[in-house]
Amino acid sequence: MKHVATSDRNAYDRGIFHLIDPEGHFLLILGLGVYPNLGVIDAYATLRTGSTLHAVRACDALSDEARTRMEVGPLHVHVERPLQDFVLTCAADPDDPGGLAYEITWHADFPALWEPRHTQRRGGRLILEGTRFVQAGHCDGWLRIGGREIEVRGWTGTRDRSWGVRPVPGEEGGRLSDEHPTEGFHWIWAPVRFDDRFLMVVVQEDADGHRTLNDATLVREGHRDRQLGWPRTEIDYHPGTRHPRGAVLHLTDPVDRKPLELGVDILTSSPLALGAGYPPADDWQHGTWRGRGWTDRRAYDLSDPAAHPLAAYGVTDHAARFTLDGQVGLGIFEHGSFGRHDPSGFTGFDAVAPRRP
């Protein structure tokens, strides 16, 4: 859109792609966004391999041409066939031949699925209003890191596209922030690709467990989308943290009321506050103007969690193996739990899962 239907500075349009290898050794996350009322376009890519997170970020001025080309610095998203095929590219850095580079085609295997409309208010003010859809597929191509070229063949791919109004850095505080502080936030977003079906689960809860976002939908080619009830969640956290090592999501078949269990086995994790620009990142966030032609490349050592304390207060994307009704799939278990959450027994921002004797 050249002109959006709001003057809100937080208007945005953004997409994210997740790519997971079959063994869960690699998790590549990339995205691109435009902020029409800020005049900014930016993009990022992060690759988790072992204990290292490699990141590439880029920012530029938004122009009419950039709205349709979707290119920022070395990062490109090219639509070959809408809702079907996308070519994802990160050009190599001539000054760093061992840095991250890739060219991967993302192929859709299932129709896109609308997610529930997402709204949040602070007092009487609407601070988030997002429309989004999600899709699953497979990926082929190559990526290079550290002088090593890795074949991408049959990797699992998910993607999310959203637009609307969403806070970007510089959002004003004032009375509403002072009088309506966030007590707690609990979030699960899980797109899962099986061989013949795609499952999407999303849950958001307030501090007292009141659910503000809720959906569990199964997609199969040639079938009507099937709603799987009100997800109930059990998360097994690493002691002394809010970092999940596994989970079970309890679903329900709508026809025979048969209970279904979606098992979650975490393979590797990528905190979105590191490299990917999601709050509370302290080195770069989406929509932040860094000047024309800005590009940044860096690597984060994740072997010591204490080295990145802010990551614990941001959402983390976990590549995971899922089981459902005898089938095994791959996908993303995106989770964030901050502040008080009564159903989990967390009493405040400093509360964590109990340590075992």
Residue range 130-144, pLDDT digits in tens? 999 999 999 999 999
- Provide φ and ψ at 229, rounded to 5°: 80, -155
Look at residue 297 in the predicted model and tell me its pLDDT. Answer: 97
| Tokens 């050249």 belong to residue | 2
> ω into residue 280 within 30 of 0, thus cis?
yes
Cα–Cα distance, 275 to 279 (Å, whole number): 11
* β-pair type (26-35, 11-20): antiparallel
Res. 93: pLDDT tops 80: yes
Look at residue 84 in the predicted model and tell me its pLDDT. Answer: 98
Model confidence band, residue 126 (pLDDT cutoffs 50, 70, 90): confident
Model confidence band, residue 114 (pLDDT cutoffs 50, 70, 90): very high
Helices (H), 88-246: 174-179
Res. 356: pLDDT tops 80: no
Q: Which CATH class is domain 12-166+180-344?
A: mainly beta
Q: pLDDT tens digits, residue range 37-52?
A: 999 999 999 999 999 9
Query: Running DSSP on this structure, what letter comes out for residue 180?
Result: S
Report which residue type is found at 63.
S
Helices (H), 141-212: 174-179
Res. 64: pLDDT tops 90: no
With helix as H, strand as E and coil as C, how does 22-84 read?
A: CCCCEEEEEEEEEECCCCEEEEEEEEEECCEEEEEEEEEECCHHHHHHCEECCEEEEEEECCC
Tokens of 158: 């998910």
State the chain's mean pLDDT as an integer: 94
Whole-structure pTM value: 0.95
Burial class for 309, CB neighbours closer than 10 Å (0-12, 13-18, 19+):
exposed
Cα–Cα distance, 349 to 357 (Å, whole number): 23
Q: Give the mean pLDDT of 188-209.
A: 97
Model confidence band, residue 357 (pLDDT cutoffs 50, 70, 90): low
With helix as H, strand as E and coil as C, how does 280-335 read?
A: CCCCCCCCCCCCCCEEEEEEEECCCHHHCHHHHHCCEEEEEEEEECCEEEEEEEEE
Strand partners, 41: 34, 60
Q: Give the mean pLDDT of 307-314.
A: 90
Lowest-confidence segment of 58-62, 75-79, 109-113, 125-129 by average pLDDT: 125-129
Cα–Cα distance, 309 to 350 (Å, whole number): 12
Q: pLDDT tens digits, residue range 152-182?
A: 999 999 999 999 999 888 766 677 778 888 8
Tokens of 330: 């791959």
Give percent of the chain above pLDDT 90.
83
Q: pLDDT tens digits, residue range 244-266?
A: 999 999 999 998 899 999 999 99
Q: pLDDT tens digits, residue range 283-293?
A: 999 999 999 99
Cα–Cα distance, 200 to 134 (Å, whole number): 8
Look at residue 172 in the predicted model and tell me its pLDDT. Answer: 66
- Nearest alpha-carbon partner for 276 in 298, 261, 293: 298
